Every structure is written in structure tokens, then in C-alpha cells.
Amino acid sequence: MTSGHRLGPLQTGPAPELVASGFALENADAPLLHDGLNLADLAHVLDLHSRGVVPEHPARRLLALLLETCATPPEEFPYDPEYGEPYNSRERWFTSRIGDDAGWLHAGRPRREAVRIALRLHLRGQLVDLIEAAADLADTIATRAAEHSRTWLPDQTYLQHAQPSTFGHYLLSFGYPVLRDARRLHDALVWTNTSPGGAGCVNGSRLLDDREPIARMLGFQGVIEHTRDAMWQTDGLVDMLAGAASLVGTQSKLGEDLEIWASSEFDYVTLADGFSRSSVLMPQKRNPYALSIIRGASGTLVGRLTGFLAVIKSPSARSDNLIYAYGEVPRALDLAVRTTRLTDGVIRTLTVNVARMWAALESGFCQATDLAEYVMLTCGLDYRTAYQVVGVAVRTAHEAGLRGIDLDGEMLDQAAQQYAGRSLGLAGVDLSEVLDPRCIVATRTAAGGAAPEVVEAMAASCSEQAAGLRSAARAARAGFAESERVLSETAAALAARPGEKDDDEH
């Protein structure tokens, strides 16, 4: 009686449909993993040789071939979906070059482990780039915020004038979430910079009783503690996708505001020519095209995060958890890096129409809240009554074509008579400081407030935090480069070591 489940290696090649839909997909992502696969293979051979598993001669031949592959651009390497996924394509080419000596690469390591390592090596470099780009953006926001700590602005909620503020205070409200997302991405980097090497698919390998050497050679901070978890974990990938989506989502919010503010109806800001595009039909139109890219990138990253969450909800130890990650996650991070640098350029070169912002502030009634508080404190009213009195006065002034700064004590007395049937005794009282938006902003001296000196202090703090993140990112990048240099030099030294004569005939 035979079982319906066949055991042992496959006897025939892959179906053309599988090649077209599966292996072609994975090989399309091979350029993203090429460098990491080379480094993973170098470290694996060096580790096996140091343990006496791989003899000297095949180790030298393998290392020489791998170093040649390291110098080969990914687009020139013969990845071919007809021979399976990228790892199998490499194996076929290696075997064609050095015969069965290529088979030592399989010792103690499944194909997926090599790809898991390669993915982490690629992602950690991208995360460093994204953290640095986010730090640069936060610093640019902080610098521009400090410049405009006294650029008076009617801050808005629901596109309606809310309270007097400054463009600097408004702009800085985006600097803090950018810094928080950069720190979340740094946490993702810590997760990424641990090694799945030596996991042996699920329970480790008898050949690799110590997993630390491979981790050290590849510049990882340590090993993932549980071997089965090391091979199949995806939560850190979700974290970095979520961090990237959140980071660009913050930029999208800012971009949507700026698109509105760049319109002729507002005319608060103007994008630099390099970040704009003219209409080919309408001569008067100057479109803030860069903002469309930022907003579209945000939507795309939300889609990549959602799609990946849908893929990984399968049972454990399934390749579909990660097959799609090899391309989706790196491309998402690349998009986030490009977009963050774009937003940095937009903010750095943005022209702020200071006079237009002041004119809009002066023409409205942003001082109504402070006026109601003044009435409450001066006239002994509860806040709800003071609120209603000021509301009546504002409505009457608006209908008469007046502005908030035109309100006076007599108008408030009339409003109080109308609403509460009593006078407040404010006729003739000088309300100029109460109504001056600049004086109002100057009172916001509590932590996080809009007073210029508070904004300037916050901007300095944001720049300092950004500098710390930037420095850490650059140090990490230098550390990764150094570990790769040492690994390559160690492999080259062993490959060139005098020994028995190479025999290329097999």
C-alpha cells in the first residue's frame, strides 16, 4: 500500500506555471538579497571551516568563488527562475563552477536560513538610512520652526480659525511625531540586527553548537534566542512597516495642510519651483506636485502594511510568511526613505507668506476664547455665561463687517444685556492687549505652548534629539561596513592561503 505523500527529493523539474508565478517572483527580488546572501555564505563557510567540518581545499575554492560573486553586480549574476528560487539559482551556478565542493554550503543550514540572514542584512542598512532621513527631517522642521517663532498665524481646527498661534508652533507639531517614529524604527533596527544563523530550520544543528561566531562575523548584536522563532518570526517586520507607514503618514498630514495653504484662497505658503509643476494647459496654475507624491506614498505604505499583515496570518513555519517579505518590506522602506527626503526638501525650501498669515489672523476672531476668559475673571461670570456673551458679541460684530480686534467693552455690555439682561460695566475699558493676537500668544508660556521663547526652546530640543538619532544611525552604518570589511578580508586571506593544488576538473 502506497502513501499519497511522496518522500525524498523531487524527480522532475518545476511546472512552467510554478516558474512563472512563484520562482519568477522570488528571483525578481534577488537583487535586494544578493549582497546579503554573499555575506551569509562567506560567514557560513568560515564558521564550518573553523570547526573542521569543511576541509581546507573545498573551503578555499568556495571562498574564492564567493568573493568573485561578491564583486558581481546582482543584475549580472545568472539568477534563473527555471532553476528555482535565488538560492537554488546560486547553487546551480556554483556547482557548474566548482562541482561538488559547492555542496558544503548546505551543511547545517537550510536554504531559508541564508535568505533570512540576507534579508536582515539588507533591512538593517535601509533602517539606518530611514532613521537618518527622519532625523534630518525633524531637524529641518525644528530649524524652520525656530525661524518662524514670531510668524503669527490663525491656527485652525476643521479649517476654521481656532486660536492665535505662530507658524513655528504649528510646524513643530510635526517634528515630535517624526522623532517618535525614528525611535520606533530604531527599535526595529535592534530587532533586525540579531542573527538567525545556526537555527537549522527549527531546532538548531549538531554541527553548530555555538551560534555566536556567525553573528559576530556579520556584525549582528547577538543571536535570536529560540531557533524555531529565529526562522519564522515576522513581528519585527510588521513593526518596521508600521513605523515607516506612520512616519510617512505624518508627512502626508503636513502635505495635505500645505496643499491647502498653497492655494490662492489661502496663499500662506509657496513651494519652491523644484518641488512644483506647471499645468500644460492652464498658464496660471502652479501645482504643488511634490505633495501629491508624499500623500500617495502614505497610501501605498498603508497598503503594504495591510497586505503583509494579511499574508502572515497563516499557521507557523510556512514559507508564505516570508516569501513576499523579501520584496515588499525592502521596497516599502525604500519608498519611505525617498519620501522622507522629499518632505525634507519641501520644508527646507518652503516660502512662508508672513504678511498673508498676519492679515488672516487680524481679520478673524481667534481671540474669542481669551476674551471670554477675561470676561469670566473680570466680571465674575461663570465660563459658560462669559462664552455666550462673547459669542453674541462676535456674531454681531461679524454681521457688521468688523473684526475681533474691533470689539470693545460697549459691545460686550450690549451682548450681556441681550443674553443675560445685565451690563458688565466694561464700556470704556481698554481691551487692546486682551484682543491683540501677539499678546495672547505671549501668554502661552507653559510647557509646549506657542510663546516664541517656548517654541524656540522646543525647536532646540528637537534638533538635539535629531542629532542624537543621526549620530547613532551613522555609527551603526560604520559598524556594519567594518564587519563586512573584516569578513571579506578574512575570507580572502583563507582563499589565498597556500595549500594543495586546486583541481578544477570534476
- Asked whether residue 149 is assigned to any structural domain, the reply reads yes
* pLDDT at residue number 38: 97
SS (H, E, C) 389-446: HHHHHHHHHHHCCCCHHHCCHHHHHHHHHHHHCCCCCCCCCCCHHHHCHHHHHHCCCC
Amino acid identity, residue 420? A
257 & 351 share domain: yes
Q: How many C-alpha atoms does 324 have within 13 Å on its Cβ side?
A: 17
- Whole-angstrom CA distances from 98 to 3, 49, 66, 195 are 38, 17, 11, 29
Per-residue model confidence as pLDDT tens digits over 246-263: 999 999 999 999 999 999
- Residue 293 in contact with residue 364, Cβ under 8 Å? no
| Helix/strand/coil for 266 | coil
State how far the Cα of 400 lies from the Cα of 365, in Å rounded to an integer. Answer: 13
* pLDDT at residue number 306: 96
Choice among 101-105, 110-114, 376-380, 460-464 with the minimum mean pLDDT:
110-114
Per-residue model confidence as pLDDT tens digits over 28-76: 999 999 999 999 999 999 999 999 999 999 999 999 999 999 999 999 9
State how far the Cα of 112 lies from the Cα of 146, in Å rounded to an integer. Answer: 50
pTM of the model: 0.93
CATH number at residue 75: 1.10.275
Residues composing the chain: 506
188 & 132 share domain: yes
Rounded to the nearest integer, the mean pLDDT of the chain is: 93
Which of 420, 430, 424, 416 is CA-nearest to residue 377?
Answer: 424
State how far the Cα of 238 lies from the Cα of 308, in Å rounded to an integer. Answer: 8
53 & 170 share domain: no
89 & 130 share domain: no
130 & 247 share domain: yes
* Over residues 448-476, mean pLDDT: 98
Neighbours of 234 (CB within 10 A): 17
Q: Could you list the residue range(s) of the whole structural domain that residue 234 is in?
A: 117-197+210-216+228-360+449-484
254 & 185 share domain: yes
**Class of residue 373 by CB neighbours under 10 A (exposed 0-12, middle 13-18, buried 19+):** middle
In 3-state terms, the chain is what percent helix, strand and coil (to 5)? 65, 5, 30
pLDDT band per the 50, 70, 90 thresholds, residue 503:
very low
CATH number at residue 466: 1.20.200.10
Q: What percent of the chain has pLDDT over 90?
A: 82
For the cut 90, the answer to whether the pLDDT of residue 317 exceeds it is: no
- Asked whether residue 422 is assigned to any structural domain, the reply reads yes
Q: Round the CA-based radius of gyration of the chain to a whole number and report it.
A: 32
417 & 293 share domain: no
- Looking at the structure of the chain, the number of domains it has is 3
- Asked whether residue 502 is assigned to any structural domain, the reply reads no
- Asked whether residue 8 is assigned to any structural domain, the reply reads no
Cα three-residue angle 358-359-360, rounded to 5 degrees = 90
41 & 147 share domain: no
- Whole-angstrom CA distances from 391 to 387, 414, 416, 429 are 6, 12, 10, 19
| Final residue belonging to a domain, choices 109, 141, 170 | 109
Neighbours of 238 (CB within 10 A): 16
* pLDDT at residue number 323: 86
163 & 187 share domain: yes
Which of 193, 227, 10 is CA-nearest to residue 108?
Answer: 227
For the cut 60, the answer to whether the pLDDT of residue 505 exceeds it is: no
- Asked whether residue 341 is assigned to any structural domain, the reply reads yes
Per-residue model confidence as pLDDT tens digits over 70-118: 999 999 999 999 988 899 999 999 999 999 999 999 999 988 899 999 9
* Over residues 311-318, mean pLDDT: 85
306 & 340 share domain: yes
- Asked whether residue 9 is assigned to any structural domain, the reply reads no
- Whole-angstrom CA distances from 135 to 125, 177, 464, 472 are 15, 11, 10, 10
* Over residues 209-229, mean pLDDT: 95
275 & 319 share domain: yes
- Asked whether residue 504 is assigned to any structural domain, the reply reads no
State how far the Cα of 12 lies from the Cα of 129, in Å rounded to an integer. Answer: 44
pLDDT band per the 50, 70, 90 thresholds, residue 201:
confident
- Asked whether residue 223 is assigned to any structural domain, the reply reads no
189 & 333 share domain: yes
CATH number at residue 385: 1.10.40
Helix (H) or strand (E) holding 155: strand 152-157
| Final residue belonging to a domain, choices 76, 109, 142 | 109
| Final residue belonging to a domain, choices 91, 109, 127 | 109
pLDDT band per the 50, 70, 90 thresholds, residue 169:
very high
